[in-house]
Amino acid sequence: MNYAIIGTGAIGGFYGGKLAQAGREVHFLFHSEYEAAVAQGLRVDSVDGDFSIRPVRAYRDTHDMPACDVILVALKTTVNDRLPELLAPILRPGSLVVLIQNGLGIEADLADRLPAHVGVAGGMGFICSNRIGPAHIHHLDYGRLTVGLYRGDETKCRTFLDELADAGVETVWAPDLAEARWRKLVWNIPYNGLSVVLDTTTEALMAHPSSRALVRSLMIEVQHGAAACGITIPDTFIDEMLAMTDRMRPYKPSMRLDYDHRRPMEIEAIYSRPVREARTRGVELPRIETLERQLRFIEKKYLP
């Protein structure tokens, strides 16, 4: 299969880079970093071993890209309103769009705006990866990608996972996409928001008893929101997320990086959607809603 990477940053560059390193045909969309990518290729400094893709199949416009079997979207959800127009030139009947993004309900939103013959899946990466320069990525830790199908050809989706696994990436098939999305929120909701509101990193959040307790309480509230939607997240999963973060290298989550660079934060997809989904089923998530309101206040200060 051939691949398109829409959003060649810390996440798309890593997974797309791994596929290209393994010999797959991968087409990368760049914007401001296009010239650097053409000149130097795509560089990934990884805890699993550094590598470069040179030359790289680089583009600055999807109209110049070929239609692809699998399109990995690694843009922030804050620009998802542009996706149908952006994807149109590279879709063909049977194409599969995998949204490697944070949040809830994003697959349904996109599927409603794409042709019915295009498949849609969700990808949940558990990975510490940052962009540290033009077409230059630093992969610090982990790397697992969990994928669940929203609609379309399951065989194609599983083949993508097999090819990614052959490239050295840990992959997990999620038979229940909604459950996988809520499980990702168990980590995303506390660490993304608190890293901004408390001006800190994951390591510091875990080191102090008060912030650690706050992290756990937010995770438990995500658990309650999922239960309202008919999804069971066991207590052991919360313990697992805490333990994995304890072992994680010091890390600034994506929302903290967006705040640092004064970019829009993914408040709607990560916080507002879960709060609304639970409320429609009669369950309030007061801690998460408080964090959502704090983030909106902070964002308003630098994005008036």
Q: Where are the domains of the chain?
A: 2-175, 179-302
Please report the beta strands in the chain, taking only residues with DSSP state E, as ranges in sequence order. Answer: 2-6, 25-29, 42-46, 51-53, 58-59, 70-73, 96-100, 119-133, 136-151, 171-173
Which string of DSSP letters, residue by residue, matches 194-233? Answer: HHHHTT--HHHHHHSHHHHHHHHHHHHHHHHHHHHTT---
Q: Is 251 helix (H, G, I), strand (E, B) or coil?
A: coil
Residue 304's pLDDT is 80
Give the residues of the chain that fall short of pLDDT 70: none
Please state, rounded to an integer, the average pLDDT across all residues of the chain: 97
Whose CA is closest to 187, among 128, 140, 147? 128
Amino acid making up residue 114: L
The answer for residues whose C-beta is within 8 angstroms of residue 192's C-beta and 6 or more apart is 102, 253, 254, 255, 256, 266, 270
Q: Is 249 helix (H, G, I), strand (E, B) or coil?
A: coil
Residue 282's pLDDT is 98
Distance, in Å, from the CA atom of 236 to the CA atom of 239, rounded to the nearest integer, reads: 5
- pTM of the full structure: 0.96
Residue 249's pLDDT is 86
Distance, in Å, from the CA atom of 276 to the CA atom of 256, rounded to the nearest integer, reads: 23
Whose CA is closest to 190, among 101, 292, 268? 292
Distance, in Å, from the CA atom of 253 to the CA atom of 189, rounded to the nearest integer, reads: 11
Report residue 12 as tokens. 């798309």
Catalytic one of 18, 76, 184, 252: 184
CATH superfamily, domain at 179-302: N-(1-d-carboxylethyl)-l-norvaline Dehydrogenase; domain 2 (1.10.1040.10)
The CATH topology of domain 2-175 is Rossmann fold (3.40.50)
Q: Is 68 helix (H, G, I), strand (E, B) or coil?
A: coil
The answer for residues whose C-beta is within 8 angstroms of residue 247's C-beta and 6 or more apart is none
Distance, in Å, from the CA atom of 221 to the CA atom of 288, rounded to the nearest integer, reads: 7
Q: Is 86 helix (H, G, I), strand (E, B) or coil?
A: helix
Give the bridge partners for 99, in sequence order.
Answer: 73, 122
Q: Which residue has the tokens 């940052």?
A: 130
Whose CA is closest to 128, among 37, 247, 232? 247
Reported as type and span, the H/E element at residue 82 is: none
Distance, in Å, from the CA atom of 13 to the CA atom of 28, rounded to the nearest integer, reads: 8
Distance, in Å, from the CA atom of 257 to the CA atom of 255, rounded to the nearest integer, reads: 5
Q: What percent of the chain has pLDDT over 90?
A: 98
Express each pLDDT in 115-139 by its tens digit.
999 999 999 999 999 999 999 999 9
Q: Is there a contact between 22 and 14 (Cβ–Cβ < 8 Å)?
A: no
Answer yes or no: same fold for 2-175 and 179-302: no
Q: Determine whether 184 is an active site residue.
A: yes
